[in-house]
Amino acid sequence: MTVRIGVIGTGMIGEEHSRRITQQLTGGEIVAVSDVNVEQASTVVDRLKLDAKVYESGLELIKADNVDAVLVTSWGPTHEEYVLAAIAAGKSVFCEKPLATTAEGCRHIIDAEIEAGRRLVQVGFMRRFDSGYKLMKEAIDTNRLGEPLMVHAAHRNPEVPERYVTPMAIHDTLIHELDTFRWLLDDDYASAQVIFPRKTRHAHSKVEDPQMILLETTQGVRIDVEVFVNCQYGYDIQCDVVGEDGIARLPEPQSLIFRQAGQRYNEILQDWKKRFGEAFDVELQAFIDGAAAGEICGPSSWDGYAAAIASDACVKAQESGQIEAIEMPERPAFYG
C-alpha cells in the first residue's frame, strides 16, 4: 500500500521531508501540499516535480479523501490546530517539533488522541533515530556506564533570523535536548534554571544568547546545556553522559581530515539538514510504515507533552531567574 501524504508548511523542513519521501524513502507519495504562502507551496511542487494538489488551507488538505496521512511542518504555533484536525479526521500525523509551543496545547492533543482510541501522532524528535545517540542509549541501558550522574551538552547554531526571540532558545532549540535526555536516561525532570552569560555581539536585540540551562531529574541526575544560536562557526551538537563507571561522548559526524596549507583540520557541518540527515530518513520511514500498518510508533504525543512541560518551566525560569520546579502528571496507560 502506498501512503498518500499531505504536507502542511512547505518551508525549509517541509521541502526537505517532501524530497526525501519522494526521492529516497519507500511506501509514501506526496499528493497534497499547503502553505499560507501559496506561491511557496507551488514552487516546491515544481522544484520536486510532485504530482500534488496545492491547497490554500491546511484544514481543507486534511479533509481531502485522497490524503491518508499528514505531515505538519509549518511554524510551531500552528501545529496544535493541524494535529487536532488530523486526529479528528482519523488520520496519522507526523508533527515536527514542537508538538505545540505550550504544555496546555500538547494536553489538548493528548486528550483528543485518547478520545480517538488509538495512536495517530508521531512527533519529530529525530535524535532518537540518530545512530550516535542510539549507541549512547544502548550503553546506558546495558549499564556500561554504571548509574548516570551528570550530562554536559551543547546545542549550537551558526546564527538565527530576527524572528527568533529569547523563549525560542527553549521551545524551538532546547526542546530537542529536553526530549533526548528523558529518553536517554529514562527519567523525568524535577527542576530547571536558566542563566544568561555575557551576551554575544553577534545576537540581535530580541534574543539573549548564549544561555545556560541547568536541569535536575527525579533521580538526581544534573544536566547542563549550553544553547548558543549565534556561535558563527557551525551546527554543533555535543553530549557527554557521565556515569559511575565511565563516560560516553556523542560521536562527531563523520568527516574527512585534511592536511593542507600547513594545517590539519576537518570541516564542521553548518546545519541540521546534514547533521541529522540519516536520522530524518529513519524517522520518516518509520512514520510511513506505521501509517501503512495503522500502528504509529516513535516519539508520542506524551513525549511531546513531557518535553513541553519542561520547556514551559525553562521559559518561566528565563523570566524569574529562579530554579523552577517541574511536575509531571502520571502517564496514562494509553501511552504504555
Ligand X SMILES: O=C1[C@@H](O)[C@H](O)[C@@H](O)[C@H](O)[C@H]1O
Per CB under 6 A, 101 contacts ligand X: no
Among 6, 28, 76, 290, which residue interacts with ligand NAI (rule: CB under 6 A)?
76
Q: Does 96 bind ligand NAI (CB under 6 A)?
A: yes
- Length of the chain as a residue count: 336
Q: Strand pairing partners for 151?
A: 223, 241
Tell me which of 272, 280, 287, 305 binds ligand X, using CB under 6 A: 272
The interface region with ligand NAI, picked from 36-44, 138-146, 197-205, 232-240 by CB under 6 A, is 36-44
- Nearest residue (CB) to ligand NAI, 40 versus 166: 40
Give the residue, chosen from 172, 283, 303, 312, that forms a contact with ligand X under the rule CB under 6 A: 172
How far, in whole angstroms, is CA 330 from its chain's centroid?
Answer: 23
Instruction: Give CA–CA dist 70/3, Å, rounded.
Output: 10
Nearest to 318 by CA among 172, 184, 193, 155: 193
Alpha-carbon distance of 321 to 326, in angstroms, equals 15
Tell me the number of residues near ligand X by CB under 6 A.
Answer: 6
- Rule CB under 6 A: say whether 211 interacts with ligand X: no
How far apart are alpha carbons 237 and 81 in whole angstroms? 31
Q: Which three cell numbers stand for residue 148?
A: 548516570
Does 40 sit near ligand NAI (CB under 6 A)? Answer: yes
Q: How far is CA 17 from CA 52, 187, 277, in A?
A: 15, 30, 10
φ, ψ for residue 327 (rounded to 5)?
A: -120, 125
Residue 83 interaction partner, one of ligand NAI, ligand X, none, beta carbon < 5-8 Å per kind: none
Q: State the Cα–Cα distance between residues 317 and 319, nearest whole angstrom.
A: 5
Hey, is 154 helix, strand or coil? Answer: strand
Give least dist CB 96 to ligand NAI, A.
4
Residue 230 interacting with ligand X (CB under 6 A): no
**CB of residue 124 to ligand X, shortest distance in Å:** 8
Based on the shown chain and the rule CB under 6 A, indicate whether residue 173 belongs to the binding site for ligand X: yes
- Comparing C-alpha atoms, which of 239, 288, 198 is closest to residue 5? 288
- Which of ligand X, ligand NAI, none does residue 229 bind (CB under 5 to 8 Å by kind)? ligand X
Q: Give the H or E element holding residue 236.
A: strand 236-243
One of 2, 24, 37, 219 touching ligand NAI (CB under 6 A): 37
Nearer CB in complex with ligand X: 31/203: 203
Binding site for ligand NAI (CB under 6 A): 8-14, 34-37, 40, 58, 73-76, 78, 96-97, 124, 126, 172, 272, 276
